[in-house]
Amino acid sequence: MTAKTYELRTFGCQMNVHDSERMAGLLEDAGYVRAPENADGADVVVFNTCAVRENADNRLYGNLGQLAPKKAARPGMQIAVGGCLAQKDRETIVRKAPWVDVVFGTHNVGKLPVLLERARVQEEAQVELAESLEAFPSTLPTRRESAYAAWVSVSVGCNNTCTFCIVPQLRGKEKDRRPGDILAEVEALVAEGVTEITLLGQNVNAYGQDIGDREAFGKLLRACGRIEGLERVRFTSPHPRDFTDDVIAAMAETPNVMPQLHMPLQSGSSRVLKAMRRSYRQERFLGIIEKVRDAMPHAALSTDIIVGFPGETEEDFEETLHVVRESRFAQAFTFQYSKRPGTPAAEMDGQVPKEVVQERYERLVALQEEISWEENRKQVGRTVELLVAEGEGRKDDTTHRLSGRAPDNRLVHFTRPEEPVRPGDMVTAEITYAAPHHLLAEGTVGPVRRTRAGDAWERRQAGPEDDGRGVLLGLPKVGVPEPLPAAEGCCTTH
């Protein structure tokens, strides 16, 4: 009997991307195989949804609507909806789309294969959501997207109550993993060939609340520094409120913690920050930036900013521009405020007219572009070691140019060296040109440092037998995980 195929459609932030790796692992453990990319439909289609956007539900029902005739024509096909929107909309999903077979939430990802089976046997939709986490997703089987870079959860959930954010309602209160479990996972990944990890949490540097140690995150970074073979450590996302000096010291003193920091600003106005219920103020944010710059002069900083939060005045917006000028971010993810149903901010007075938001947004983007470009131009002439990435090459001339990430996570396109090189290997290159969003290293590039990560990538290409982990051929091309908001153009983790 041929194995049933599955397709996973992921929306939202890194949390969902990582949960999808778990869902894929669970399904493969249960005997499913990933449907080839160009296949005409799969036996099981799983939506891992995000609830952040105002029209997220319309998009989901649109997608489900398109699948209805396919399902009618394909006996035995199943559709499952999980993730944040499922956690929020629950039974509504099967009421609006009765052809859906399974609805599951953010707290019971591990139930997916069982619910699919139960829906098949009982021939009726299974809606099962838990109010709190059943099993830390990291204890579930996983099917990692990259052979050389991996996400590692340190915590799930968030104890904050930012007024624009729906995430705590859907992901619950913060739950921390034990440091020993995290480090054991990192060590196991390194043993498989992974050289870069990104520690992941809704609020990574609040890590430690559950285990009664306020300095636990800094200690975790230092412990990662002692893992042999682990070359690059990143994390996302910290909250300025919890950003303590011991974390800055740990970053600066641990050689494999990369000189890069993504720290969400959201607004430069202390008045707006208060309305957002974000407990730091402009001075504190700028103070952290200054300390980070003192400790790591070459660190690349990036951020998230929301423009047009209810009640934002021109003066408030000017404060944001001021912080952007002072901070000199290498990159900023800028979002126009949009109401997120179920959040306090959606009901606030003083919603800013669309044209005003648009105009401010354009000014902010123009300023940030200018700064990004200036900061990138400072890189020209520097020699950096690049982790060769898969799937980030420029589509037009991929044969001549490859892409990689510098230690500070800048994207660099470089001339293909004469020596053979694989994703996961390291290449030394001199930066020759800067654009606002990428750098070029043209001309002679090398040497190439062949790594265990490159070996791991090659093993994957060789197919499941050689991989030893049942990984399939035909992986979608993905690069090194971006420690930045993934997809939705929302304020994702913070």
Binding site for ligand SF4 (CB under 6 A): 158, 160, 162, 165, 167-168, 202-203, 239, 493-494
* H/E run at residue 319: helix 314-327
Q: Contacts with ligand F3S: how many residues (CB under 6 A)?
A: 13
Decide: is 8 part of the binding site for ligand F3S (CB under 6 A): no
* H/E run at residue 283: helix 282-295
Phi, psi for residue 260 in degrees, rounded to 5: -155, 140
Quick one: what does residue 411 bind among ligand F3S, ligand SF4, none, with the CB cut-off 5 to 8 Å set by partner type?
none
Quick one: what does residue 50 bind among ligand F3S, ligand SF4, none, with the CB cut-off 5 to 8 Å set by partner type?
ligand F3S
Distance CA 212, CA 37 (A): 46
| Angstrom distances, CA of residue 309 to CA of 271, 293, 329 | 11, 29, 21
Nearer to ligand SF4, 201 or 218 (CB): 201
CB 403 within 8 A of CB 412: yes
Decide: is 16 part of the binding site for ligand F3S (CB under 6 A): yes
CB of 239 to ligand SF4, least distance (A): 5
Distance CA 291, CA 245 (A): 8
Decide: is 429 part of the binding site for ligand F3S (CB under 6 A): no
In this structure, the strands spanning 401-405 and 433-434 are unpaired
Interacting residue with ligand F3S among 171, 262, 410, 452 (CB under 6 A): 171
Nearer to ligand F3S, 16 or 331 (CB): 16
Quick one: what does residue 203 bind among ligand F3S, ligand SF4, none, with the CB cut-off 5 to 8 Å set by partner type?
ligand SF4
Nearer to ligand F3S, 104 or 414 (CB): 104
Question: Which stretch in 9-17, 26-34, 131-139, 305-313 sits in contact with ligand F3S by CB under 6 A?
Answer: 9-17
Decide: is 334 part of the binding site for ligand F3S (CB under 6 A): no
Interacting residue with ligand F3S among 27, 35, 45, 84 (CB under 6 A): 84
Quick one: what does residue 205 bind among ligand SF4, ligand F3S, none, with the CB cut-off 5 to 8 Å set by partner type?
none
Distance CA 51, CA 86 (A): 8
Joined tokens for residue 123: 């021939």
Nearer to ligand F3S, 83 or 240 (CB): 83
Decide: is 200 part of the binding site for ligand F3S (CB under 6 A): no
CB of 97 to ligand SF4, least distance (A): 28
Decide: is 167 part of the binding site for ligand F3S (CB under 6 A): yes
Nearer to ligand SF4, 206 or 448 (CB): 206
Distance CA 407, CA 386 (A): 7
* H/E run at residue 200: strand 196-200
Question: Which stretch in 32-40, 49-57, 73-81, 127-135 sits in contact with ligand F3S by CB under 6 A?
Answer: 49-57
Decide: is 111 part of the binding site for ligand F3S (CB under 6 A): no
- Name the amino acid, one letter, at 360: R
Joined tokens for residue 114: 């069982």
Quick one: what does residue 300 bind among ligand F3S, ligand SF4, none, with the CB cut-off 5 to 8 Å set by partner type?
none
CB of 169 to ligand F3S, least distance (A): 9
The 3-state DSSP class for residue 95 equals: helix
| Angstrom distances, CA of residue 243 to CA of 109, 299, 300, 432 | 31, 16, 17, 35
Q: Which of 310, 247, 299, 253 is nearest to 276 (CA)?
A: 310
Residues from 268 through 287 that contact ligand F3S (CB under 6 A): none
Quick one: what does residue 158 bind among ligand F3S, ligand SF4, none, with the CB cut-off 5 to 8 Å set by partner type?
ligand SF4
Helix, strand, coil percentages in the chain from 3-state DSSP, rounded to 5: 40, 20, 45
Sequence-separated (6 or more) residues with CB below 8 Å from residue 44 = 4, 5, 6, 7, 27, 32, 77, 78, 79, 80, 116
| β-bridge mates for residue 159, sequence order | none
Quick one: what does residue 265 bind among ligand F3S, ligand SF4, none, with the CB cut-off 5 to 8 Å set by partner type?
none
* H/E run at residue 18: helix 14-29
Question: Which stretch in 8-16, 34-42, 178-186, 290-298 sits in contact with ligand F3S by CB under 6 A?
Answer: 8-16
Quick one: what does residue 170 bind among ligand F3S, ligand SF4, none, with the CB cut-off 5 to 8 Å set by partner type?
ligand F3S
Under DSSP, the state recorded for 344 is G
CB 345 within 8 A of CB 163: yes
Question: Which stretch in 48-56, 325-333, 366-374, 391-399 sits in contact with ligand F3S by CB under 6 A?
Answer: 48-56
Quick one: what does residue 334 bind among ligand SF4, ligand F3S, none, with the CB cut-off 5 to 8 Å set by partner type?
none
Nearer to ligand F3S, 159 or 444 (CB): 159
Distance CA 140, CA 488 (A): 26
Question: Which stretch in 45-53, 353-361, 432-440, 442-450 sits in contact with ligand F3S by CB under 6 A?
Answer: 45-53
Nearer to ligand F3S, 52 or 324 (CB): 52
Nearer to ligand SF4, 10 or 160 (CB): 160
Interacting residue with ligand F3S among 8, 26, 27, 51 (CB under 6 A): 51
Burial 28-40 (b: 16+ CB within 10 A, else e): bebebbbbeeeee
Q: How far apart are the first and last CA of the chain?
A: 46
| Number of other residues whose CB lies within 10 A of the CB of residue 59 | 14
Which residues here bind ligand F3S, judged by CB under 6 A?
Answer: 12-13, 15-16, 50-52, 84, 167, 170-171, 490, 492
